[in-house]
Structure 1
């Protein structure tokens, strides 16, 4: 029972969305002074991007800022608006980004691309929730239901772990006459990994092959991770051989393969002594190096604490930003092995981090595991961590 809970916890990943009425801000309406920051005497830049970014509160309207900009004799281009929208998304200003998308849709002079529609689906998911994004997608003309918009909606389903809806859409995708790249399959593989249905990942890979779609580095990563999660190391070796023979193989892939083989030697999971673990990771992007998470899971299953310590130390020394999944994975592994001191250290590290993404379900499962094992102090510490990070746990820890 404990291992089942922990396994589910380890394989959970994060994302979520809020919801509030669309009518609150999509109506352009009359320009109202209260929707603008008082920046008339500001010495800051006064271009359109600067004006929009000076909107401090989500309730203030980016649409009104654009209309005021136009009333002053300016005409923003679609390329300028796309860049501002992109910057807003990167800053997690999703409501204002969606308002810009809405304004673009209403302008007859703008010809929207497939990416514009896909971006809008993603933003609607983040601001209004899955249902709104789904309705928007279904209301699109056939010409706008492209590989990009299908992928965007599937990404939303996968992020919310709506397996049934994702599988239904995936079936529609396979029955369509559209051409898809590996991304659509990666979304399904990521979903299955996140909900602990790792046995379905190879089925997606087989479908991808039947459609003659080229596997990318992330596809291989997910495929390897699914095999490693069930300790099928022989299949990991077979996949690495396939990677090395892949016609799309490049220097990044070869580094990836070499890195994996550092960990898998002579039929076991013992690192090559003296391997420059940290330096290897530093030269490879997040999608090009093997996920630390599954290696931590493997070593936890083998009860090899030394290797878990080494991997965790290496992960913290890389330039990649830590995610809540990383913390949940290492905490679960230490919990499985009964190393309470290390668990306390990880909780302290998480408190000091800037990580803001949380999966309530995974956190509840971990909190419940602490309580099930009678670790009241650790449960209280973890509860305080969640409160500090503005992540309120629920009473349902089953």
Structure 2
């Protein structure tokens, strides 16, 4: 930005009123009575008072306020006050920055957190934003420095009572991460963090975290037949196109052991039907994974491709383009089969069945893309697609065996699903 200088003169109201607007950049008029005191005029016509003074070896330009909100006399008085502060060793610029940082709100810290953490996954971003608008909706405008340990403990209890203990723990783990970011991000002029301690530490110090046992539910072998029949009956829904897609999605999850988001975001470009394999590029541990297609899954995808009208294998009707959790269809399957399950239960079922038929631990961990960080031997084993094909086929064969209805091979009867 260009700037121009005019001869120094005593700054008065009448003189400020007569100042002309520069064509570009900004112009400065310095006062003859008070050294460092000046008026700045920008090309937009805005006028403001400034004070220029050497502080800690560098010339600093401090903005006093805009004219006419601040009068000439008020600005001159403020300049005198700041000069006095500087004379006794204070740094008004640093103090102003410190004051602004002290007022950083939870919402501002979250926005900076999101800008800094550029590689957060879309689902993670969604979950974080949801927590901000649900768990901390009344805290968004609070200064992070004002959120005390007592407030954290009380909020943890309130969330636990209203939304469940697991959700309360999740919310506080997120808040802990946000505070840790703020401690590293916001420093005063001396390089000290404005947030000296993470208030969520109170939950650890008092052992107030809720004890939430990790969910271990699976679909048991004797439940797989009715579950399968209920899923297949989705294809008889009055909205066959979408419900048939959900049926294939559920089966794909069970037969591959994928996480729901990995399967939902799978694109046709990720699938090689000629090589009978598919590749996950956006995994939880950020390591790409190529897996074999069993005959069953290959046939499922071949049939699905005939009706494909999207880049996603399991296309959705929303803005994302891919299938979001199909709660209505999942509930229908639960009602018809009497088997309560979640989408992640299908992954646990895949793993449980694999273990029951003694699939190699190394092969299984590779199939479900689990890291073996503490296993030195695993680092020397290369599990390529063809080596994984046999264990994948074995798991599929076991699932298909469980799908048999009974010894007499009678077919279960399920009512037609409708939208009511």
Greater RCO between the two (CA within 8 Å, min separation 6)? Answer: 1
Structure (1 or 2) with the greater helix fraction: 1
Greater C-alpha radius of gyration: 2
TM-score scaled by structure 1?
A: 0.26
Write 1 or 2 for the structure with the bigger share of strand: 2
